[in-house]
């Protein structure tokens, strides 16, 4: 034995930081036989010490006593010099063997401890975003009085907002039809929002879009996008053809809020550019989408219209979902409600982004997501969707 005192509190991480596991481990080593005399007995005690530590940190602190400078093993090795050559060889071999055995035990234990610590950390850092509601509040939201009276904590799961839900459903329908989903910025330059879409400065069609400008130089050069159509330009600029994409997002116009308008609203844009695309493809796509999204009994029709970025252009209307075509106040007695605009992409738009209009043709469409939600969930006033009255949010 060496003169070291492996069980003393002066070892390891020091008395204050020494855990119970480490104290037990150091005791094991203090009571271990001299490895020069009983190598197997020492290895057994060393393995018990390794098992006793409770953290990777404790295991690291144990190392000097276990296999390092202050270990019985190192002391025994130092005493080998006093032995006859034959004996030295045998004893040295034996010490190497038990060292390897204990090293393997240390590695195995380290792996276990690191994995357990990682699991504990992940668990501790998990963020629970659900909110437990106190019984009184839960009652006001309609929980049963039995649950509230018993003081039972009531958990209610949050709901996805109607507009977001509608957007998700629209994306699902179009993805099912083979479209990809693309995204663009809500703040756009005048060029993307107007000019590349065939609306040069002072073009009368700009009057359709009452715009918010950003206060940056040069004046009136940057706007909150008034529609999702500029994303068409960005998708075409990426240079990958053919395009079959939908582009949902938030838009802004200087509108006074009323039952059918809101200064912040949502649109979904569609763009198909490929060889040989015709107006028939556009009509078929709108019809397929309408049936898939609104269900049987609701169909679409196109009416001539004008948009600067499509030629020819159309407005598309769907059967009124409130009266199913019979005529009611929502559809002003016509049986139809307008959903959006569409048309064949104007060759000037393709040219603005370097696509050859002789080779490629395409169609585009755009419509209001909020309008879709209104129609699908029968909400007469658009403002209700943004008032945050939970009764509206909960109904769907
Ligand atoms: N961007 C138009 C608007 O907000 C809607 C629209 C019409 C989009 C025709 C289109 C289209 O892609 O082809 O009023």
The pLDDT tens digits of the residues spanning 101-154 come to 999 999 999 999 999 999 999 888 888 776 555 655 666 666 554 554 555 555
CATH code for the domain defined by 162-394: 3.30.930.10
Ligand 1 mean position, distance from CA 308 (Å): 9
CA-wise closest residue to 29 among 14, 11, 15: 11
The pLDDT tens digits of the residues spanning 75-94 come to 999 998 888 899 999 999 99
Question: Is the CB–ligand 1 distance for residue 193 below 6 Å?
Answer: no
What pLDDT is recorded for position 375? 86
**Ligand 1 atom closest to Cα of residue 340:** 5
- The domain limits of the chain are 20-125, 130-158, 162-394
Which residues does 132 contact at the CB level (< 8 Å), separation at least 6? 153, 154, 155
Question: Is the CB–ligand 1 distance for residue 206 below 6 Å?
Answer: no
- Enter the tokens of residue 119: 């699991």
Q: Which residues of the chain fall below pLDDT 50?
A: 1-16, 145, 148
Question: Is the CB–ligand 1 distance for residue 285 below 6 Å?
Answer: no
Mutate to test the pocket of ligand 1, among 307, 317, 339 (most ligand atoms within 8 A of CB): 307
Question: Is the CB–ligand 1 distance for residue 269 below 6 Å?
Answer: yes
**Ligand 1 atom closest to Cα of residue 363:** 13
Question: Is the CB–ligand 1 distance for residue 314 below 6 Å?
Answer: no
- Cα 363 from Cα 76, distance rounded (Å): 86
What pLDDT is recorded for position 258? 87
Question: Is the CB–ligand 1 distance for residue 225 below 6 Å?
Answer: no
Q: Mapping DSSP to helix (H, G, I), strand (E, B) and coil, where does residue 251 land?
A: strand
Question: Is the CB–ligand 1 distance for residue 342 below 6 Å?
Answer: yes
For residues 251 and 340, the answer to whether their CB atoms sit within 8 Å is: no
Ligand 1 mean position, distance from CA 340 (Å): 7
């Amino acid at each position: 034995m060496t003169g070291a005192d492996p069980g003393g509190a002066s070892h390891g991480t020091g008395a204050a930081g020494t855990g119970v596991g480490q104290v037990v481990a150091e005791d094991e080593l203090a009571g271990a036989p001299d490895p020069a005399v009983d190598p197997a007995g020492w290895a057994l005690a060393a393995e018990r010490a390794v098992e006793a530590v409770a953290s990777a940190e404790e295991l690291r602190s144990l190392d000097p006593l276990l296999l390092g400078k202050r270990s019985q093993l190192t002391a025994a090795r130092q005493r080998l010099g006093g032995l006859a050559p034959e004996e030295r060889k045998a004893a040295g071999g034996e010490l190497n063997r038990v060292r390897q055995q204990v090293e393997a035990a240390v590695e195995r234990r380290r792996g276990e401890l690191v994995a357990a610590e990682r699991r504990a950390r992940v668990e501790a850092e998990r963020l629970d975003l659900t909110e437990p509601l106190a019984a009184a509040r839960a009652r006001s939201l309609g929980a049963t009085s039995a649950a509230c009276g018993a003081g039972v904590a009531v958990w209610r799961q949050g709901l996805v907002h109607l507009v977001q839900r509608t957007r998700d459903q629209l994306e699902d329908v179009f993805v099912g039809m083979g479209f990809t989903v693309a995204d663009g910025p809500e703040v756009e330059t005048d060029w993307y929002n107007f000019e590349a879409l065939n609306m040069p400065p002072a073009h009368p069609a700009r009057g359709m879009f009452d715009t918010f400008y950003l206060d940056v130089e040069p004046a009136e050069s940057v706007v909150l996008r008034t529609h999702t159509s500029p994303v068409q330009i960005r998708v075409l600029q990426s240079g990958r053809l053919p395009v079959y994409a939908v582009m949902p997002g938030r838009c802004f116009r200087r509108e006074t809020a009323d039952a059918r308008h809101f200064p912040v609203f949502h649109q979904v844009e569609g763009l198909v550019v490929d060889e040989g695309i015709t107006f028939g493809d556009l009509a078929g796509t709108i019809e397929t989408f309408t049936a898939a999204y609104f269900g049987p009994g609701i169909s679409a029709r196109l009416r001539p219209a004008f948009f600067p970025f499509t030629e020819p252009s159309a407005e598309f209307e769907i059967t009124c979902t409130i009266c199913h075509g019979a005529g009611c106040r929502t559809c002003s007695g016509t049986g139809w409600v307008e959903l959006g605009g569409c048309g064949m992409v104007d060759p000037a738009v393709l040219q603005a982004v370097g696509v050859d209009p002789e080779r490629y043709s395409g169609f585009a469409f755009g419509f209001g997501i909020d309008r879709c939600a209104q129609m699908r969930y029968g909400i007469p006033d658009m403002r209700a969707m943004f008032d945050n009255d939970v009764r509206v949010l909960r109904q769907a």
